[in-house]
């Protein structure tokens, strides 16, 4: 037996086929891991009516395998078993043309790399291994890019589904895992999405961002494709697709309006909401107000004009001013001295009392002393009550401040005994002289949307 087994190995590929036997095959084939490959092949063999009859069986074996000990990778012989590693993946193509030996190999693996020989059997007279031509299969690492299918042009606000698919189509491949990454995915509140389909609602800010689909087979094989999203403006007139950046300054205001759209939109500014034929206060993206006064408080609107709509965004302008003090003013009532002090400011200021050594900033009350602070709108009001015995010869100050500045007013209380009950404190030195202590900025603007 031994010489018979060795014979085909010694012959190698140098042998010619026995006359009458011929295999037509593209011998060298390179395929990427995980894909399918169709190997076209046909064969012929000698036949004569003298030959013993029999079914035609064909086999593909791995080179080096002895057919008496190993199973074929593919065969049409129903009684034959298949090599376990390739079973189900190597199949004979059910080809209607006679004498086809075509193969379909699906879900190719690196371990499939190697050569394969073809065998034909029919009755006793035809039992032949083709030696001249073999299938040399080379499986390379997965490469290339998956396809990303975008069903229709992306439009802001219109929900859509993108599909990622591997190159080539293949039945019976091992399961693939798909991962999407990119800003469009982050905007769904996720780091990554594991699915072959990404369903999302494009936003103008997704325009120009990268979206990547990664395809993995098993743990290691990866390929990916990155596309840049093209998102056109939504056709509705919804706000929210605009960003506003304000530049603040003491007395001048510069507002920049930006529309994230494709193609670019024409921008203009209006006071209030833009009426149909309203004329803009600025026909560019920038609105400059060299000196903002309280009268300019109110709504400002930036409108974008775009073939697909005219979205707009509004902001409301508030003018900020430092405290204006009312008081303090004091009066006597039943042995109690009552003083009040009010401050009007935008934003509302803090108010505190300075009484001799004490600094009073919060509500406080005991049997001989009471201070209350209350806040409503631009007003911060405070009242202070103290019994006669505490109130002799004191300096009493009311102080108010906000981001724009501070003010303070002082009165000097003479001995309680020298003033008449229920009267206004007469001995206020220098009157209720108010003095601006500090003015950080006289006019500051902010906006809110």
Ligand X SMILES: *[C@@H]1O[C@H](CO)[C@@H](O)[C@H](O)[C@H]1NC(C)=O
Sites of contact with ligand X (CB under 6 A): 27-28, 136, 210, 226-228, 230, 326, 342, 362-363, 366-369, 372-374, 376, 379, 381
Minimum separation from the CB atom of position 215 to ligand X (A): 16
Q: What does the block give as tokens for 49?
A: 């009516």
Minimum separation from the CB atom of position 138 to ligand X (A): 9
How many distinct helices (H) and strands (E) make up the chain?
Answer: 2, 35
Name the residue nearer to ligand X (CB basis): 11 or 47: 11
Minimum separation from the CB atom of position 48 to ligand X (A): 31
Name the residue nearer to ligand X (CB basis): 2 or 376: 376
Minimum separation from the CB atom of position 129 to ligand X (A): 19
Minimum separation from the CB atom of position 238 to ligand X (A): 23
Q: Rounded to an integer, what distance in angstroms lies between the CA atom of residue 308 and that of residue 190?
A: 30
Minimum separation from the CB atom of position 34 to ligand X (A): 23
Whose tokens are 């990554």? That residue is 192
Q: Rounded to an integer, what distance in angstroms lies between the CA atom of residue 161 and that of residue 116?
A: 44
Name the residue nearer to ligand X (CB basis): 369 or 446: 369
Q: What does the block give as tokens for 378?
A: 């631009």
Name the residue nearer to ligand X (CB basis): 375 or 441: 375
Name the residue nearer to ligand X (CB basis): 243 or 369: 369
Strand order in the sheet with 434-438: 358-360, 350-355, 394-402, 405-413, 434-438
| Burial class of 53 by CB neighbour count within 10 A (0 to 12, 13 to 18, 19+) | exposed
Residues 6+ apart with CB under 8 A from 411: 328, 330, 395, 396, 397, 425, 428, 429, 431, 432
Q: Rounded to an integer, what distance in angstroms lies between the CA atom of residue 375 and that of residue 382?
A: 9
Name the residue nearer to ligand X (CB basis): 145 or 296: 145
């Amino acid at each position: 037996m031994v010489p018979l087994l060795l014979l085909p190995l010694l012959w190698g590929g140098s042998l010619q086929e026995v006359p009458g036997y011929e295999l037509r095959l593209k011998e060298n084939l390179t395929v990427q891991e995980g894909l399918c490959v169709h190997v076209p092949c046909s064969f012929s063999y000698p036949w004569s009516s003298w030959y013993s009859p029999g079914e035609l069986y064909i086999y593909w074996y791995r080179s080096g395998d002895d057919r008496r000990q190993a199973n074929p990778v593919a065969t049409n012989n129903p009684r034959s078993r298949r090599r376990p590693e390739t079973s189900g993946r190597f199949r004979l193509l059910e080809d209607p043309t006679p004498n086809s030996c075509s193969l379909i190999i699906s879900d190719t693996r690196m371990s499939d790399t190697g050569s394969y020989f073809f065998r034909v059997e029919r009755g006793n007279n035809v039992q032949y291994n083709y030696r001249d031509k073999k299938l040399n299969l080379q499986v390379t690492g997965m490469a290339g890019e998956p396809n990303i299918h975008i069903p229709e042009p992306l439009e802001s606000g219109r929900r859509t589904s993108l599909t990622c698919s591997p190159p080539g189509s293949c039945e019976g491949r091992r399961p693939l895992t798909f991962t999407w990454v990119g800003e469009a995915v982050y905007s769904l509140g996720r780091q990554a999405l594991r699915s072959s389909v990404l369903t999302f609602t494009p936003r103008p800010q997704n325009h120009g961002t990268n979206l990547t689909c990664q395809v993995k087979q098993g743990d290691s094989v990866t390929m990916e494709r990155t596309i840049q999203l093209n998102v056109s403006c939504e056709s509705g007139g919804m706000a929210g697709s605009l960003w506003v950046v304000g530049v603040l300054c003491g007395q001048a205001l510069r507002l920049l309006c930006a529309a994230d759209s494709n193609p670019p939109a024409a921008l203009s500014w209006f006071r209030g909401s833009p009426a149909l034929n309203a004329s803009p206060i600025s026909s560019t993206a920038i609105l400059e107000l060299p000196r903002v006064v309280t009268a300019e408080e109110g709504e400002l609107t930036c409108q974008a004009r775009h073939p697909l709509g005219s979205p707009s965004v509004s902001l409301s302008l508030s003018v900020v001013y430092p405290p204006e003090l009312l008081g303090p003013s004091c009066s006597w009532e039943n042995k109690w001295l009552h003083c009040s002090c009010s401050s009007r400011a935008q934003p509302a200021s803090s108010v505190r009392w300075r009484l001799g050594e004490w600094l009073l900033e919060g509500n406080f009350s005991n049997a001989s002393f009471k201070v209350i602070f209350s806040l409503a709108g631009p007003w911060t009001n405070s009242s202070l009550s103290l019994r006669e015995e505490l109130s002799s010869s004191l300096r009493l100050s009311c102080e108010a401040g906000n981001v724009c500045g501070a003010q303070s007013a002082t009165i000097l209380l003479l001995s309680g005994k020298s003033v008449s009950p229920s009267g206004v404190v007469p001995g206020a030195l220098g009157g209720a002289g108010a003095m601006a202590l500090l003015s950080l900025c006289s006019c500051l603007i902010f906006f809110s949307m």
